[in-house]
Structure 1
Amino acid sequence: MAIVSTPHVAAPARAGVPIAPMTTLRLGGPASRLVEAPAAEAVVEAVRAADAQDDPVLLLGGGSNVVVADEGFAGTVVRVTSRGAAPQRRPDGSVLLTVEAGEDWDDVVAATVAEGLGGLECLSGIPGRTGATPVQNVGAYGVEVADLLVDVDLYDRRTGVVRRQVPAAELGLGYRTSRLKGRDDAIVLRVRFALPGGRDSAPIRYPELARALGVEQGSRVPAAVAREAVLELRRGKGMVLDPDDHDTWSAGSFFTNPVLPQDEAPRVDGLPRWPAGPGLVKLPAAGLIERAGFPRGHRGPGGRVALSTRHVLALTHRGGGSVADLLALAREVRAGVAARFGVLLHPEPVLVGCRL
């Protein structure tokens, strides 16, 4: 695992490029202009050039957590393809891992596990690029980016300055959110994580994963064992990308688990409630959706979109659909949950040029 040499200059802009093939949903209209940026310097160059023309900018990585309107994006799409990752052993035995924003996230996780470094294995199988992970505070199976993030390099569009090693504490990391989410003036160029330095996994906190591994919660197992268990669980939910499997044509979990005041959260038989801070509880969105009458495979307009046949939290594209179809299904589900439980679900993907 090492930093690789890549061109530092952005490629010439291309006009009218379809966005859909660059997203995991395979939906969305064209970009007015698309620029490929193979290095952090190229990202900055492309954004500065667009800003000089007062052109709107959309940063696109793996396209796994974004829904772009059928009309497309009237501006410059900067596709971040920067590559490289480098581990550095520290005196205390831990490892500082520096990763370029355009690196495929699961490739990074796989490489750390292959090198005998535990810590990221519970985040296996999550599609997208590394630069998006702190923006969303990506998390799964009891681990989230906030647990391991040290700092990031950012390009500040307001000042035109690259800010290096901005501490994680300044990013406002919370449940599937950060101060970077929903804004386009601070662009992640590079990310650094602190890994414990050993071969064991992070403590297995998530009950489902503990059961799959046959261990007690809080136990540790070899990171490679935990990674395979996580991938198997995600495959069972259609959450590992497969171009031949329409259950994976999604943006992952479409709704976040609602966090509510304890006295306002509905009590539903068999539905767990998790502590989420002083006076707050978190409810499983999937459980609310199912109990509101939406089964796996529930079809949206014309059957062109549907809830996954394996996991109701994923809204999937079955082929020949549109973003309008997808949003119609999302509105139906959201309205059903609100009517049944009085809980308003919020979308997890970034919506570009469209809204619920």
Structure 2
Amino acid sequence: MSPVTAAAAPSERRDRSRTLERVQELHDAPLAPLTTFRLGGPATRLLTATTDAEVIDAVREADAAGTPLLIIGGGSNLVIGDKGFAGTALRIATKGFELDGTKLELAAGEVWTDAVERTVAAGLAGVECLAGIPGSAGATPIQNVGAYGQEVSSTITEVIAYDRTTGDTVTIPNAECAFSYRHSRFKAEPDRYVVLRVRFELEDADGLSAPLKYPETARTLGVEAGERVSAVLARETVLKLRGGKGMVLDPEDHDTWSAGSFFTNPILTDAEFAAFHARVVERLGADGKAPAFPAGEGLTKTSAAWLIDKAGFTKGYGTGPARISTKHTLALTNRGDATTEDLLALAREVVAGVRDVFGVTLVNEPVTVGVSL
């Protein structure tokens, strides 16, 4: 349950009411159009806030009333139940792109992929390989968004957030964000912090990219891992790679009616990886080999996409309105008339199948609202 703040004084309540009058308010409002899955039922009430002050006042009002609150940014990481959300949904639509040398501050509501394009156009490096990722800037520290060898935790310096527990606006430095693979302090405490702004320190490399870490990107560009290329070229290459996998939003392409990668790559202990490897050999023979990447002392990361494919869930799998993408096994998609239950049924089938074959339990990356796997 969301923390409840102390009741405001009468004068504060009057000021808050005047602020909320400027916020767009809808009742019994459809939420599906606000998500990239285009799934989910309505919210009892939907507010759209365009300033930090409006965000804070809307959150305070909901918390003071004990009303369930759902924060929505770009909607690219949400799975909302067919019954919708019984409470207040708050869509953060704040704007703000402030660049000072290599320092960048983004309002939470800024479209992330547009912000990446603007930093590259300014000749700065550090987020160019995160091009094409749907969603808003405020979501990036929550998930520690990453792709093609970059993670936002490498460039974020501070996150400005509203702390629902204390009622204060706080500035949290990178070292206190507890960033890890697709995780952070904000994800660990989802009912505490509402991200308002994110600050980054980028690199002026005379128009060059950061050193390329991802083998596929380097190979596509014809260079060695660790080399730099034009940041513009790196961004364009990533967009092409993502587009070929259905990972760039296109309203005409149902393969992009998804949340991108639906499952995180499993991280296994040495014992778990040994048991997994034995299953791989049993299924694929003595030469069977699964992807394996160091993930810290005693830990190995493997590929969720590989697991899904080798367990028999190939591209385009499914006959119903929710299917695996025809371009990438890691994306579950809405073919146009799916329900959330259709999607979850497919997700559960994939999870059970991978577990039965390899003994590994996949974990969903998108946040679920009113439903669970």
Give TM-score, length-normalised by structure 1: 0.94
The corresponding residue for 1:39 is 51
Is the contact made by 1:200 and 1:223 (CA closer than 8 Å) also made in structure 2? yes
1:322 partnered with 2:329: no
Match status 1:348 vs 2:359: no
| Larger proportion of helix | 2
The share of aligned pairs that are identical, in percent, is 55
Q: What's the counterpart of residue 193 of structure 2?
A: 186
Q: 1:147 corresponds to which residue?
A: 154
Partner of 1:217: 225
Q: Is this contact kept in 1: 2:72–2:91, CA < 8 A?
A: yes
> Residue in 1 aligned with 2:33?
21
- Kindly report which structure 2 residues correspond to 1:24-103, keeping only aligned pairs within 5 A, or say none: 24-89=36-101, 95-103=102-110
Q: Which deviates further from its counterpart, 266-275 or 14-23?
A: 266-275
1:275-328, Cα deviation, whole Å (9 max, x unpaired):
0000100000000000001110001xx520000001000000001111101000
SS of residue in 2 equivalent to 1:25 = coil
Question: Structure 1 residue 294 and structure 2 residue 294: aligned?
Answer: no
Decide whether the 8 Å contact of 2:334 with 2:343 is kept in 1.
yes
Code of the aligned partner of 1:298: Y
Contact 2:111–2:135 (8 Å) recurs in 1:
yes
Letter aligned with residue 362 of structure 2:
L
Contact 1:157 1:185 (C-alpha < 8 Å) held by counterparts: yes
Larger radius of gyration: 2
Indicate which of 129, 152, 155 corresponds to 1:122: 129
1:262 Cα offset (Å): 2.2
Give the match for residue 3 of structure 1.
none
Q: Distance in 2 between matches of 1:114 and 1:222?
A: 11
Q: Is this contact kept in 1: 2:71–2:91, CA < 8 A?
A: yes
In structure 2, the residue corresponding to 1:264 is in which secondary structure?
A: helix
Q: Which segment is superposed worse, 121-130 or 198-207?
A: 198-207
Kindly provide the amino acid, as one letter, of the partner of residue 200 in structure 1. Answer: L
Measure the CA separation in 1 of the matches of 2:98 and 2:152. Answer: 18
In the alignment, which residue of structure 1 is the partner of 2:180? 174
Letter in 1 for 2:90: V
Unmatched 5+ residue regions in structure 1?
Answer: 1-7, 90-94
* In 2: Cα distance, 1:254 partner to 1:223 partner: 28
- C-alpha displacement of 1:12: 4.1
Map of 1:157 onto structure 2: 164
> 2:308 is matched by which residue type in structure 1?
I
Instruction: Tell me the number of residue pairs that the alignment of Structure 1 and Structure 2 aligns.
Output: 341
Partner residue in 2 for 1:334 = 351
Residue in 2 that maps onto 1:133: 140
Contact 1:139 1:145 in 2 (8 A): yes
Partner in structure 2 of residue 274 of structure 1: 293
Q: 1:289 corresponds to which letter in structure 2?
A: I
Instruction: Show the counterpart of 2:216.
Output: 208
CA distance in 2, matches of 1:76, 1:50: 7
Asked if 1 retains the 8 angstrom alpha-carbon contact of 2:321 and 2:334, the reply is yes
* Off by >3 Å, runs of 4+ in structure 1: none
Tell me, what secondary structure is at the counterpart of 2:228? coil
Q: Is the 8 A contact 1:154 1:189 kept in 2?
A: yes
CA contact (8 A) 1:119 1:223 kept: no
**Paired residue secondary structure (1:131):** helix
Are the aligned partners of 2:24 and 2:49 in contact in 1 as well (CA < 8 Å)? no
RMSD of aligned residue pairs (Cα, Å): 1.1
